[in-house]
């Protein structure tokens, strides 16, 4: 096979579907691929027929021109697929298996991987710890918003679904296991959410909604979601969350109206570096969410920070923001003995347990994030609508595998 239809970053505000090379078990030169990686052989890898691949808010940062992503970079790090070819060193994954792909690529051999820190693998990116598919500065691995994709270190990375027929029936929910469900879950776990806790999630995009659903799964007494977008707040209320409209300012006051006190036990930043100040028509202020969460989290509480922060932001509001240097009230967090957890979610720490929760009907994640299926060729429209604030999690369907599939 020679052709492979894929979604590529074109320029700020634009993506296009183009034909790229069919993946092989060797890294080829191309947009975003570091010279050190070219020619890297992946006898330990597999080729997947992509059954579902999702548009992520992290992709949107690149498409907005808020990173140094090169033209032609094939996007997509949320991948679910069927194995159609396996490398000679793969032992435990077979052709025909339907699998979820963690967005963070890990070798399984380095110190960090052996300690379960698969988001910062030391061997899959020549530039820095950690790698991901189709993402700027993350190792040059080709993205999965495509008909076919290559996955390295398959025996270690892939989560195989136990029943092919059931996997296809529940594919719309299972596709969330590659990133946003574990990421949202990691956010609330690292914030200390549990039975009877009160939880505030900043941001009602897909990751924030996944975090809210995760807090409910963990037994939180009250889950509050804050956002500027009325449609996204309505989506949070659709599965039992309380909401705060941050365009009205005064987050603590609104939380006090709900809880009777202005603080919560656990807080999650699902916004990241493109945060805006609170209030109507507020300007961008990238430290807003972090500072707000320190103010409204009780002393001794914790902040989970799955929202993306970057070291290079060409569109930053000032020189500090352009280098990822934010004016954070660390003194406040120190005075309240807060704990902070940042960085990529180590997907493999959670994805099997969350798969079981889906398969046994304990959580309805596709409904929570309003999963919306579109064709691969419709990806430019999906990116545009998502950028305009649509309260949907767009799922691309390159081969029609999602025809007739509904959330469980």
Do 273 and 300 lie in one domain? The reply is: yes
* Residue 407, in any domain of the structure: no
Residues (pLDDT < 50) of the chain are none
pLDDT tens figures, 59-99: 999 999 999 899 999 999 999 999 999 999 999 999 999 99
Tell me which residue has tokens 């992946």: 42
Do 119 and 187 lie in one domain? The reply is: no
pTM, two decimals, is 0.96
Residue that finishes a domain, picked among 324, 342, 360:
342
Residue 184 is predicted with a pLDDT of: 98
* Residue 402, in any domain of the structure: no
Q: Which residues contact 162 (CB under 8 A, 6 or more apart)?
A: none
Residue that finishes a domain, picked among 342, 370, 385:
342
Residue 240 is predicted with a pLDDT of: 98
Residue 280 is predicted with a pLDDT of: 85
Do 90 and 159 lie in one domain? The reply is: yes
* Residue 167, in any domain of the structure: yes
Do 141 and 126 lie in one domain? The reply is: yes
In which domain, by residue range, is 191 found?
180-342
Cα 266 to Cα 115: distance, rounded to the nearest angstrom:
26
Domains identified in the chain, total number: 2
Measure Cα distances from 142 to 90, 135, 211, 337, 383 in Å. 20, 8, 28, 41, 19
DSSP state of 267: E
Q: Are 388 and 48 in contact (CB under 8 A)?
A: no
């Amino acid at each position: 096979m020679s052709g492979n239809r894929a979604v590529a970053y074109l320029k700020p505000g634009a993506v296009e579907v183009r034909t790229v090379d069919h993946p092989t078990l060797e890294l080829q030169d191309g947009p975003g691929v570091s010279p050190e990686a070219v020619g890297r052989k992946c006898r330990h890898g597999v080729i997947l027929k992509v059954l579902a691949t999702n548009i992520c808010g992290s992709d949107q940062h690149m498409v907005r021109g808020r990173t140094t992503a090169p033209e032609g970079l094939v996007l997509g790090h949320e991948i679910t697929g069927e194995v159609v070819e396996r490398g000679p060193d793969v032992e435990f994954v077979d052709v025909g298996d339907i699998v979820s792909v963690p967005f963070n690529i890990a070798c399984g051999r380095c110190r960090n991987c052996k300690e379960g820190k698969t988001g910062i693998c030391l061997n899959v990116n020549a530039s820095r710890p950690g790698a991901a598919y189709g993402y700027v500065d993350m190792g040059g691995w080709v993205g999965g918003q495509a008909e076919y994709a290559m996955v390295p270190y398959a025996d270690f990375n892939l989560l195989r679904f136990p029943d092919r027929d059931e996997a296809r029936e529940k594919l719309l929910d299972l596709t969330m296991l590659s990133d946003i469900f574990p990421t949202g879950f990691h956010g609330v776990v690292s914030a200390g959410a549990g039975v009877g806790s009160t939880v505030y999630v900043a941001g009602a995009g897909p990751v924030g909604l996944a975090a809210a659903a995760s807090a409910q799964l963990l037994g939180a007494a009250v889950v509050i979601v804050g956002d500027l977008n009325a449609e996204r707040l309505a989506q949070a209320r659709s599965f039992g969350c309380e909401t705060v409209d941050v365009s009205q300012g005064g987050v603590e006051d609104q939380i006090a109206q709900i809880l009777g006190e202005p603080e919560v036990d656990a807080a999650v930043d699902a916004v990241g570096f493109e945060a805006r100040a609170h209030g109507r028509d507020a300007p961008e202020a990238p430290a807003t969410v972090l500072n707000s969460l320190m103010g409204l989290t009780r002393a001794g509480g914790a902040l989970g920070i799955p929202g993306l922060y970057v070291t290079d932001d060409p569109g930053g509001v000032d020189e500090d923001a352009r280098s990822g240097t934010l004016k954070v009230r660390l003194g406040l967090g120190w005075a309240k003995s807060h704990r902070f957890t940042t960085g990529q979610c180590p997907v493999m720490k959670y994805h099997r347990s969350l798969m079981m929760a889906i398969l046994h009907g304990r959580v309805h994640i596709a409904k929570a994030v309003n999963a919306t299926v579109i064709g691969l060729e419709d990806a430019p429209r999906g990116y545009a609508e998502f950028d305009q604030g649509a309260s949907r999690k767009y799922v691309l369907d390159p081969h029609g595998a999602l025809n007739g599939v509904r959330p469980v």
